[in-house]
Amino acid sequence: MLNRRLQAAEAAWEHKDFQECIEMLESARRLAPANASILLQLGRIHGLGYDYAAAERCFEQALRFSPRKTEMLTAISDSCQNFRNPNIAERYLRLALEQPDATPQACVKLAELYERLRRLPEAAQLVERALKLNPDYAAALLVRARLARLAGQLETAEQGLRLFITKPIADIWIHAQAWYELAAILDRQGRYDEAMTALLAAKGRLQPQAPKHRAELKILRSRLQVMQTNVSAEMFQRWSANAPNLAPVRRLALLCGHARSGTTLLEQVLDAHPEMISAEETTHFVDYAFAPLRRKMPADALMLPVLEAAGLPALQQARESYFRFMELSLGQPISGRWLLDKNPVLTFMIPGFLRIFPETKFLIALRDPRDVVMSCFMQPQPLNPITAAYLDLEGTVEDYAAIMSLWRTFAPLMPAPHLEIRYEDMVEDLESVARRTLDFLGVTWDPQVLGFDDHARKKLVRSPTYADVTQPVYKRAVGRWRNYQKYLEPHLEKLEPFVKAFGYE
């Protein structure tokens, strides 16, 4: 009976039916009220649904029944990693560090959280505490090197990495990150061939884990190709004509494009405007707007048939659910402000926005395709079906071509307003780009947007570029691909259509 409940909860989670998942876990908890593992899982699901009070109640009960407090406290903090409330993770990590058997793992996890929150002196202290507990702890050595790089101490950072990077490290992801970090340091010093060697070493550590992710990517790409072939202007126009039946009208903008195209910079600029509020890289549209539409469809149903089959009540429910969970995740009402949903991954979901929110305005971030490819290739990211493409330059180029060819297909068919914004224009003349973007949205000018870096320092930025957007605009990333031109040369032909189409010849 208990196993059936847990299996049902897992199935509900896979189908993004979060309420059903919670109900199955609650049922399992009633069957085994002292099972700390179930309580931990239930707390995590409540937290991902932004019911933080319920999450903490479950966590407290899990602690009560767990015989190993420090281990459970660390597990709880792991469960909080994707919450939009860093205070919960911080509280449990601090409790873990108060235990007599505090671990270097807990020290490093809190240090990484403080790094994200720009509490760098406290992060450094925690790293040193971890190294006192275990001088060879690779995760602590990695964070120490990264903090040194952020402080501009490149030689110190490199020396620290080279002390351990060639030794066996059990944690493959930590080992890969260390090589990525060394590559970033070498790149900053202009030692580009050495940086490429370090990047290839990082990717070599991850290659054994890649096949399953690449298999999923192949399926995803085939489904996107079918959508690209079947989408039409007539379909989009018909969906747009349905707009008067959907209420209330929302002030919604989707900021997408390919990853590493300047979306985070533009997001922070717009979020600094008092009439706007941004949601950074959530999956809310997929989870709460689109996924419910496909629950009664066959498991292999493609996106366009799901959208076509959606009736008015289902579309209305999707709209309401999306905004409800957006407000929960933001921790405040959106009221009459513009909601900026920033997520490059959602480029392929543009038809979903056109169907569910036909009033959406679209901001498409553009950047020199060659710079985008090199930036994706150089960025350390855990493996998933998307990032598995970045393990070699050929795969990275193919990913860019797949995503941006979708945009080139959608753009001339869309009745909805859209604006392409070039990263290079932002770093050259931010005010002009900001004014043009606000005019497109129908929002009055406010000089606060030019203080985006100060604004970004007051919030938790989740993008990998969290450290960059807390600085004034810089130009060193423009044309960066030329430093690696000889490595890109075999793949430039595939990028040439996009270089021409987007004006980067």
From first to last of its 505 residues, the chain has per-residue pLDDT tens of 788 888 998 988 888 888 899 999 999 999 999 999 999 999 999 999 999 999 999 999 999 999 999 999 999 999 998 888 899 999 999 999 999 999 999 999 999 999 999 899 999 999 999 999 999 999 999 999 999 999 999 999 999 999 999 999 999 999 999 999 999 999 999 999 999 999 999 999 999 999 999 999 999 999 999 999 999 999 999 999 999 999 999 999 999 999 999 999 999 999 999 999 999 999 999 999 999 999 889 988 999 999 999 999 999 999 999 999 999 999 999 999 999 999 999 999 999 999 999 999 999 999 999 999 999 999 999 999 999 999 999 999 999 999 999 999 999 999 999 999 999 999 999 999 999 999 999 999 999 999 887 766 665 555 555 555 556 667 778 899 999 999 999 999 999 999 999 999 8
Cα-based angle 83, 85, 88 (whole degrees, multiple of 5)? 95
Domains and CATH numbers, the chain: 1-102 (1.25.40.10), 113-210 (1.25.40.10), 231-369+416-476 (3.40.50.300)
Q: Are 388 and 210 in contact (CB under 8 A)?
A: yes
> Residue 280 pairs with which residues in a beta bridge?
342
What pLDDT does 471 receive? Answer: 61
The tokens describing 233, both together, are 């202007």
Contact 254, 438 (CB under 8 A): no
Decide if 162 contacts 186 (C-beta within 8 A).
Answer: no
The pLDDT, as a whole number, for residue 459 is 59
Please tell me what DSSP assigns to residue 134. -
Q: Among candidates 318, 302, 333, which has minimal Cα distance to 242?
A: 318
CA distances to 16, 135, 177, 467 from 149, in Å: 40, 20, 14, 11
Residue 415's identity, in one-letter code, is P
Query: Which residue, among 66, 121, 127, has the nearest Cα to 92 in the 3D structure?
Result: 66
| Residue-by-residue DSSP string for 255-274 | EEESTTSSHHHHHHHHHTST
Lay out the sheet containing 276-280: strands in order across.
276-280, 338-342, 252-257, 361-366, 418-422
Q: Coil, strand or helix: which one is 124?
A: helix
What are the percentages of helix, strand and coil residues in the chain, rounded to 5? Answer: 70, 5, 25
Sign of the alpha-carbon torsion through 46, 51, 54, 55 = positive
Give the whole-angstrom CA distance, residue 370 versus residue 480.
9
* pTM, two decimal places: 0.93
**Which pLDDT does position 505 carry in this prediction?**
87
Q: Is the bond into 274 cis (omega within 30 degrees of 0)?
A: no
Q: What is the DSSP letter of 331?
A: T
